[in-house]
Chain A
Amino acid sequence: MTHAGSQPADDYTIDELMAVCIARQVQDGEILAHGMATPLVAAGYILAQRTHASHAYFASAIGQGVVRDWAPLSITRAETLWLGKALTHVSFVVIAADLLRAFAPKEFFRPAQIDSSGNFNNVAIGSSYERPRLRLPGVAGIPDVSVHSSQMYLYVPRHSRAVFVPRVDWITGLGHHPDRQEGSGPRYLVSDLGQFDWYDGRMRLITVHRGVSIQRIMAKTGFDLAVAAHVQETPAPTREQIRLLREEIDPLGVRRLETLAGAARRDLMRAILEQEAALDTRD
């Protein structure tokens, strides 16, 4: 990395800062589980692998493989990496029944609701399960892994009182819960407002992102948030990290699908698909 590249960047966006925060949580040599439709996490993982964690392995949901290689983020071309460049593949039955405990991958989950203890919900919003206010796609392997994992990390692209709630409607991801028999509950959470850990079983603010006040985070959190003694600003990304994200890891901006909603998200999706179609024609 050049001297200029290691300088802090002035010009960065929230999705880029979150990807960098995710990358900083990765240690070299780890196995990193890629979830389904989590491009912000994928951007952070690849950034880590391209910088300080060159021996990281990826465990993929697409293709159920182990991958050392990487490719720019994509919607329609993801299989070129996950199927074309994997070291090995198994079926999902083998992953779920035989391998997840042994491999103990680090994984970033995105809760739809989370409480102060780090219990989270991804099944449905509303107190009636039969007639929910909003049925969510489903919990995949979260209720299986969260009960024993010590490698559970979380991210919330849009911090709000709808997500950070006093009590989740359903616990589908086990937090720092009295019934826990193994593992640790979530260790870390990054949102678009700050970074958090768990202290004495309670979620605790540790850094605020640039331009965000502690008061604003408390106002957007639906429970009594613990605050670390010396809350500082989240360190800015380096210029080289931003260059890698924009030019090499995610030139199409797929990561931003996680921070946008509604029409803006649809427009970005269309733009990405058009650019990928152009790439297909060129190949």
Chain B
Amino acid sequence: MSFSRLLTLLTVLVMLLFLASLVTGVAAAGPGESFRALVFGDGGPLTLVMREIRLPRALLAVMVGVSLGLSGAAMQGLLRNPLAEPGLIGVSASAALGAVLALQTGLAAAFTLALPMAALLGALAGVLLILLLAGQGGGALGLILAGVALSALAAAMTSLVLNLSPNPFAANEIVFWMMGSLADRSFAHVWIALPVMAVGWLALANTGRGLEALTLGEDAAAAMGTDLRRLRLMVVTGVAASVGAATAVAGAVGFVGLVVPHLLRGAVGGRPSRLLPAAALGGAALVLAADIGVRVILSGRDLKLGVLMALVGAPVFLHLIWRMRGQT
């Protein structure tokens, strides 16, 4: 399949799933009726549901999916490792620390956006630390080790806060938040995440050429005119901004950044620069599909997006490893 054909196919898939997401929900209304209410707006409750609940939810699914897919492709390209994923540099763990601090201090209860904003700040602070630790030379290994250290530190501090918490519900809330979900989000979440994500997408979209050269290793890439420090900075800040914002509004949604680039690598001929847009669209499709799944499979039981993703993602990943045996 040609590259442009693949992108067209994925775009159509994302559009279809987006429409399907808009008509999925507890409010009993047919598709035609729903879209009429969305577009023309009769001022009734269905218009409110479509415009204030389902539309932001579908938009967030696309934004989160694009962020995770794109970041996964970029991380795997930078580290030249198909097992790399966006959470590796500690973004998700630092975002969780920010969130738990917001819950703990009562800020989250004070206003709705306090939680995502605190999570975003946590992610950005974590990444500043990563850049300080691994920004100067160090190579891929230094980046991975710094990420592991940061994840461990953020997880330890999250545990400490919960451990000392006088509020018995804090642990409960943070556990549910960590499961990842797009339920009950509003346009406020879209607007807080979109600018930060857009900065991240832009940074990652510019890494294609460098990632191509990195196919041959760091030494060869440097001699081919790639500025490795700049490339590393672009990927780390791009992943931090987009995944930090995604985690802030949707909690921790795993496996997308790992599985999507993996599934699409063969279709783009292994080329890291082509994997970026393909994985972005593939991520959007997967998150949209999973978010439809959580509403259909156990409707009324608030099945968490991250839980479903891991339940489906882990066996798919095992299957991939099973098929890859003996090929490498």
Whether chain B is bound by chain A comes out as no
